Amino acid sequence: MSTTVDTRHPPGVESERHSVKEPEIRHDRQGDMADEQRVEKAMHHFVKNFNTQTASYLDGCLHCGMCADACHYFVRTEDPKYTPIWKIELFKRTYKRQVGPFAFFYRLLGLKRKVTIDQLEEWQHLLYDSCTVCGRCSLVCPMGIDVAGMVSMARHGMFKAGLVPQELHETAKRAAETGSPLGITPEKFEERLEWMADEHEVDIPLNVEQADVLAVMSSIEIQKYPQSMAATAKILNATGESWTFRTDGFEATNFGMLSGNTEWQKDASMKLINTAIKIGAKKLVLPECGHAYMAMRWMGANMYGKPLPFKVQHISEYIADALNEGRIKVKKVDKSVAFHDPCQVSRRGGATKAPRDILKHLGVDFREMKYGGDYNWCCGGGGGVVTIKRADELRYRVFKLKMDQVEETKADELLSSCANCRQSFDDSQQHFNWNYTMGSLMEMVADNLEEDNS
Amino acid sequence: MDLLELARGPVLQAAAYILVGGTIWRIVGILLLKEKPDYSEPRASGGLGAALKVIWTRAFTAEPFKSATLYPKMMAYVMHIGLFATIFLFTPHIVFFEGWTGFDWPGLPNNVIFFIGVATIVSGVALIVRRLTSPVLKLISNFDDYFSWLVTMLPLVTGLLIPVRMGIRYETLLAVHILSVALLLIWLPFGKLGHTFLVFITRGTTGMVFERRGAKT
């Protein structure tokens, strides 16, 4: 597929994150489609999978504007274009014009104008750069409309139309081609596992043929936080369950989902599903990654087309179960801790309780952020936004909300259970020279495991 | 046939048919869309109970959003409660409904209804002022928002004018009131006023999907 990128403002796929200040406006295009065809494809693939729920959402909006007050982009900029429902305006319009129960009248009377390519290009920024699909807006809507879900659907259309921010597209494409968004091959994964096994003196089972638990990682961890692999191994070893990593199915992230390509999303999910089935796993344990949880826990079975023959858990749920059932024990940690909830695991995924259970077992002085948990402010890097360099400036702006929320707790340590949040925190920390370093809840558990579990 | 007879008879009847027909068309149009089964292992029940729960709970604002949405929320409460009271608890209306349905129920004193009617109009004005001045609302509003506001306010205003009279014949004022109601009924299924019934679908389906995940609703 050929790609048209604005050469005056080239994307920064390969460059260092902090080296160049990117211009704010740059519309990216993939493929050689005519403008008309792009518009047609965007709309067709948006409405293709409509059901009662999504149709009622687009029909039911009251234009009350309350979603703006829940969105970090609007709250920090007060720019009305960041109003969540406005981000799907073009698609809402097309729905009413082409699909809705009164589409005929809308067309006949010319009430809804046809969407243009210029508009779609403008909306690329609203659908990708300035939406982390965090779903906070979905909780304020008096009609109960899941705006974030609509943004994901609009992304399906944008992908088919070749209108995805170039860095995100490249990352998703690399994931589809190599199996990892950061290009981590099975050999490299194995190499890094061996390194971590040596460094941390821990047994890391790999490619075991039959095991009860299949553990998977995110490329971000493998590449940037490799100690996560050792921590995972320590915890899983301590439970006494038979488990393994596999080189034929290790990547938990799903950039197909983030970019809006459902085929790639399915491919990534099926790789893990097939591996889990092959080894007879009873459980697939997902790493500290927010969107991986959404992709596999709530969408995996639907990609598979039937119920999965194994359970799917986020590592925090797995650890919480093991602690609650007394299968592992941890030493008390004499620290105050603030916890950042990954949106896709907590607010949208329903696993808000697990990290709190773990923190209780660790005996820390847990400082819940004001409006933490399900109402948490997003780190600003979810939904693929952290990959989009032109969105950096805006991402830093919204991160201020998060900084305030964390600082208010005055906690000693800041933890989360999502490597993507962690990377976004690390980057913002560097940008602001902030004194909080994001840590991993799982790593705290691994570092404080009681040797004797009896 | 004079204006009042026309309004009370064929016009209102036609409006009622359009209301029912349009509503059914819109609901069926949405309900007929293909549904894909959700194969993910549920964390909790996402059945009718989940739908009913969210239909009820989403009427209230969650704590983190309360201060930012206080003004429109309060005005919307006054508007909705006011509309309910003026439509269903005003004795002449109850008599009218009794003629149609055979049922009657106790109403509120006329002067109370008059007061509620005024409060409802005030809330309507407050909401339209917000729509015309808030940068967010100016951006996202369209014809439907303004027209729906107008057709909602007209029956309130024309109804409140009946006792005021201003030298106009009672029958004329009543006819104008009924015609404004007919306009409201005709428009209701087509525009945003459809939230009268759509709210049960949007909140209900959200409840079913997210409660099933054990996620926040």
Is residue A265 included in any domain, yes or no?
A: yes
So what's the pLDDT on residue A377? 97
As a whole number, the mean pLDDT across chain B is 95
Chain A partners within 8 Å of B201 (Cβ): 52-53, 56, 60
Helix (H, G, I), strand (E, B) or coil at A312: strand
B1 in contact with A, Cβ within 8 Å: no
CATH code for the domain in which residue A337 is found: 3.40.50
Residues A332 and A304 in one domain: no
Residues A426 and A402 in one domain: yes
Residue in chain B lying closest to A149 (CA): B206
So what's the pLDDT on residue A18? 47
pLDDT in tens, B2-26: 999 999 999 999 999 999 999 999 9
**B77/B62 Cα distance (integer angstroms):** 15
CB-CB under 8 Å, A53 with B206 = yes
Chain A partners within 8 Å of B40 (Cβ): 297-302, 307-308
So what's the pLDDT on residue B36? 86
Of A322, A352, A370, the last residue of a domain is A322
Which has more confidence, A265 or A51?
Answer: A265
CA dist A377 to A128, A150, B22, Å?
18, 20, 41
CATH code for the domain in which residue A129 is found: 1.10.1060
pLDDT in tens, A280-336: 999 999 999 999 999 999 999 999 999 999 999 999 999 999 999 999 999 999 999
Residues A188 and A307 in one domain: yes
Residue in chain B lying closest to A82 (CA): B136
Residues A266 and A346 in one domain: no
pLDDT in tens, A183-234: 999 999 999 999 999 999 999 999 999 999 999 999 999 999 999 999 999 9
For residue A12, pLDDT beyond 60:
no
One-character DSSP codes across A214-263: EE-B-HHHHHH-THHHHHHHHHHHHHT--EEB-TTS-B---HHHHHT-HH
What pLDDT band is residue A26 in, cutting at 50, 70 and 90? confident
- Among A64, A69, A310, the residue to mutate for chain B (most B Cβ within 10 A): A64
Task: Give residues 20 to 79 of B whose Cβ lies within 8 Å of A.
Answer: 25-26, 28-31, 33-36, 38-41, 43-44, 54, 58-59, 61-65, 68-69, 72-73, 76
**A423/A440 Cα distance (integer angstroms):** 11
Of B43, B190, B207, which is closest to A350 when you measure between CB atoms?
Answer: B43
A348 in contact with B, Cβ within 8 Å: yes
Of A83, A306, A349, which is closest to B213 when you measure between CB atoms?
Answer: A349
So what's the pLDDT on residue B3? 92
Residues A228 and A150 in one domain: no
Q: Which of A387, A446, A417 is nearest to A132 (CA)?
A: A387
pLDDT in tens, B149-200: 999 999 999 999 998 878 889 999 999 999 999 999 999 999 999 999 999 9
Residues A78 and A116 in one domain: yes
**Exposed e or buried b per residue across A196-208, where buried means at least 16 C-beta atoms within 10 angstroms of its C-beta:** bbeebebebbbee
Average pLDDT on A134-150 reads: 97
B164 in contact with A, Cβ within 8 Å: no
Is residue A382 included in any domain, yes or no?
A: yes
Residue in chain A lying closest to B53 (CA): A144
Of A277, A305, A322, the last residue of a domain is A322
Of A294, A322, A350, the last residue of a domain is A322
Residue in chain B lying closest to A92 (CA): B140
What pLDDT band is residue A25 in, cutting at 50, 70 and 90? low
Rank A44-48, A74-78, B101-105 by mean pLDDT and report only the highest. Answer: A74-78
**In Å, how far is A63's CA from the nearest CA of chain B?**
6
Q: Is the dihedral of CA B54, B57, B59, B61 positive or negative?
A: negative
Residue in chain B lying closest to A53 (CA): B205
Is residue A410 included in any domain, yes or no?
A: yes
Residues A305 and A333 in one domain: no
User: Can you give the residue range of the structural domain that contains A66?
Assistant: 29-163
CB-CB under 8 Å, B25 with A83 = no
Is residue A454 included in any domain, yes or no?
A: no
Is residue A3 included in any domain, yes or no?
A: no
Is residue A315 included in any domain, yes or no?
A: yes
Of B138, B201, B210, which is closest to A52 when you measure between CB atoms?
Answer: B201
So what's the pLDDT on residue A9? 54
Percent of chain B predicted with pLDDT > 90 = 91
What pLDDT band is residue A278 in, cutting at 50, 70 and 90? very high
Average pLDDT on A107-111 reads: 80
Average pLDDT on A352-369 reads: 98
**In Å, how far is B104's CA from the nearest CA of chain A?**
31
Helix (H, G, I), strand (E, B) or coil at A281: coil
As a whole number, the mean pLDDT across chain A is 93
Split into its structural domains, chain A has a count of 3
What contacts 24+ positions apart, CB below 8 Å, involve A196-204?
A196/A226, A196/A227, A196/A229, A196/A230, A196/A233, A197/A230, A197/A233, A199/A230, A200/A227, A200/A230, A200/A233, A200/A234, A202/A230, A202/A233, A202/A234, A202/A237, A203/A233, A203/A237, A204/A229, A204/A230, A204/A233, A204/A245
Residues A291 and A197 in one domain: yes
Residues A150 and A195 in one domain: no
Q: Tell me the count of A-B CB pairs closer than 8 A.
A: 178
Is residue A231 included in any domain, yes or no?
A: yes
Is residue A149 included in any domain, yes or no?
A: yes
Chain A partners within 8 Å of B39 (Cβ): 301-302, 304-308
pLDDT in tens, A391-403: 999 999 999 999 9
Residues A337 and A312 in one domain: no
Task: Give residues 21 to 50 of A whose Cβ lies within 8 Å of B.
Answer: 49-50
- Among A46, A51, A52, the residue to mutate for chain B (most B Cβ within 10 A): A52
So what's the pLDDT on residue B35? 81
Residue in chain B lying closest to A298 (CA): B40
**A319/A228 Cα distance (integer angstroms):** 14
CB-CB under 8 Å, A302 with B34 = no
What pLDDT band is residue A99 in, cutting at 50, 70 and 90? confident
For residue A22, pLDDT beyond 80:
no
Residues A309 and A350 in one domain: no
For residue A112, pLDDT beyond 60:
yes
Task: Give residues 123 to 152 of B whose Cβ lies within 8 Å of A.
Answer: 134-145
pLDDT in tens, B118-139: 999 999 999 999 999 999 999 9
Specify whether the CB–CB gap between B215 and B197 falls below 8 A.
no
Of A80, A143, A306, which is closest to B199 when you measure between CB atoms?
Answer: A143
So what's the pLDDT on residue B58? 97
Chain B partners within 8 Å of A312 (Cβ): 41
So what's the pLDDT on residue A454? 47
Average pLDDT on B75-92 reads: 97
Of B33, B135, B213, which is closest to A51 when you measure between CB atoms?
Answer: B33
Of B29, B34, B207, which is closest to A100 when you measure between CB atoms?
Answer: B29
Average pLDDT on A352-356 reads: 98
**In Å, how far is A83's CA from the nearest CA of chain B?**
7
Specify whether the CB–CB gap between A5 and A166 falls below 8 A.
yes
Residues A277 and A144 in one domain: no
Q: Which of B63, B208, B30 is nearest to A139 (CA)?
A: B63
| ipTM of predicted complex | 0.94
**In Å, how far is B2's CA from the nearest CA of chain A?**
33
Task: Give residues 9 to 28 of B whose Cβ lies within 8 Å of A.
Answer: 25-26, 28
For residue A51, pLDDT beyond 90:
no
